């Protein structure tokens, strides 16, 4: 690991700790989280998460194209190859919403309008997350897309297993209600290693980009924490209803 990569990692530690101790994040990742609250959070996370995942393939591919325009041909090829692994993941979240809706009605006898949830407008945090990607892609440092990918995909490695354990306890060991989460926990260790190598290489060739990378990584974590928190507040509100709406 280069000295600049070490600087990046050390600079992100405080943001990663802040993410982990965020009130909503710490509650949904707690093994003692209430079953109903966790299930409602998963419902909201997947329903609103389609706006966080629908454009991921395009974001990564577009960042690769911009990198190619800057003469970073190897990074362009790597990003475009990586982008294809993200295709269609929003459809997994749609499937999970419908599966959780069915599970909830069977378990508690309460109807869940999955179509209303899936048709909801993007949350404010999801809009911010999308805007962050678009600004990076169109800005002077499109390679900072790697910082976003690194921080978000490493969450599958850090908090993902805990969430999957809770899903297994509540929904069962099949992945019908958490296919998106289960797949990312399985695959993102490799993606995280890929992102780390790419980030290290970018910093080695572009040492002046370290602060841009740091700020981008921090923004990605902050927006994702805000998204989890918005879903958590909606989940709490849903518990006072007999029908899940938007």
Would you place residue 245 in the very low, low, confident or very high pLDDT band (cuts 50, 70, 90)? Answer: very low
DSSP secondary structure letters along 170-220: HH-SS-TT-HHHHHHHHHHHHHHHHHHHHHHHHHHH-GGGHHHHHHHHHHH
**Length of the chain, please?**
246
Alpha-carbon distance of 36 to 107, in angstroms, equals 10
Where along the chain do its domains lie? 3-238
> To which H or E segment does residue 98 belong?
helix 89-108
Tokens 């678009």 — which residue? 134
Alpha-carbon distance of 235 to 100, in angstroms, equals 13
DSSP secondary structure letters along 127-138: HHHHHHHHHHHH
Chain segment 10-49, per-residue pLDDT in tens: 999 999 999 999 999 999 999 999 999 999 999 999 999 9
Query: What does the pLDDT average to over 207-214?
Result: 96
Adjacent-strand bridge partners of 187: none
Three-state DSSP at 112 gives strand
Provide Rg for the chain, Cα atoms.
18
Q: What is the pLDDT of residue 52?
A: 93
Region 3-238: CATH code: 1.20.910.10
Going by the DSSP 8-state scheme, the letter that residue 140 receives in this structure is S
| Distance (Å) of CA 4 to CA 72, 172, 199, 207 | 19, 44, 10, 7
Would you place residue 188 in the very low, low, confident or very high pLDDT band (cuts 50, 70, 90)? Answer: low
Q: What is the pLDDT of residue 59?
A: 94
Query: What does the pLDDT average to over 86-106?
Result: 92
Query: What does the pLDDT average to over 51-79?
Result: 93
Alpha-carbon distance of 69 to 97, in angstroms, equals 39
Alpha-carbon distance of 136 to 148, in angstroms, equals 9
Tokens 């976003």 — which residue? 148
State what percent of residues in the chain have pLDDT above 90.
84
Alpha-carbon distance of 145 to 148, in angstroms, equals 5
Alpha-carbon distance of 146 to 75, in angstroms, equals 10
Query: What does the pLDDT average to over 138-156?
Result: 94
Query: What does the pLDDT average to over 87-105?
Result: 92
Task: Report the greatest alpha carbon distance in the chain.
Answer: 59
Q: What is the pLDDT of residue 184?
A: 86
**113 and 41 Cβ atoms separated by less than 8 Å:** no
């Amino acid at each position: 690991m280069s000295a600049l990569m070490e600087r990046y990692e050390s600079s992100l530690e405080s943001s990663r700790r802040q993410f982990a101790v965020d009130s909503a994040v710490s509650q949904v990742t707690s093994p003692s989280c209430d079953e109903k609250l966790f299930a409602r959070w998963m419902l909201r996370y997947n329903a609103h998460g389609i706006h966080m995942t629908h454009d991921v393939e395009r974001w990564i591919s577009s960042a690769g194209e911009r990198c190619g325009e800057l003469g970073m041909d190897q990074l362009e090829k790597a990003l475009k190859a990586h982008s294809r692994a993200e295709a269609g993941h929003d459809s997994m979240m749609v499937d999970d919403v419908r599966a959780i809706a069915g599970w909830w009605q069977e378990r508690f006898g309460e109807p869940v309008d999955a179509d209303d949830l899936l048709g909801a407008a993007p949350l404010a945090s999801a809009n911010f997350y999308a805007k962050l990607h678009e600004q990076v892609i169109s800005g002077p440092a499109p390679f900072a897309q790697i910082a976003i990918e690194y921080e978000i995909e490493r969450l599958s490695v850090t908090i993902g297993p805990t969430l999957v354990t809770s899903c297994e306890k509540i929904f069962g060991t099949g992945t019908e209600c958490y296919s998106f989460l289960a797949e990312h926990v399985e695959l993102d260790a490799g993606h995280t290693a890929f992102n780390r190598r790419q980030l290290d290489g970018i910093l080695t060739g572009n040492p002046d980009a370290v602060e841009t990378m740091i700020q981008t990584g921090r923004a990605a974590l902050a927006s994702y924490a805000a998204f989890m928190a918005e879903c958590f507040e909606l989940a709490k509100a849903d518990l006072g209803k007999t029908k899940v709406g938007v």
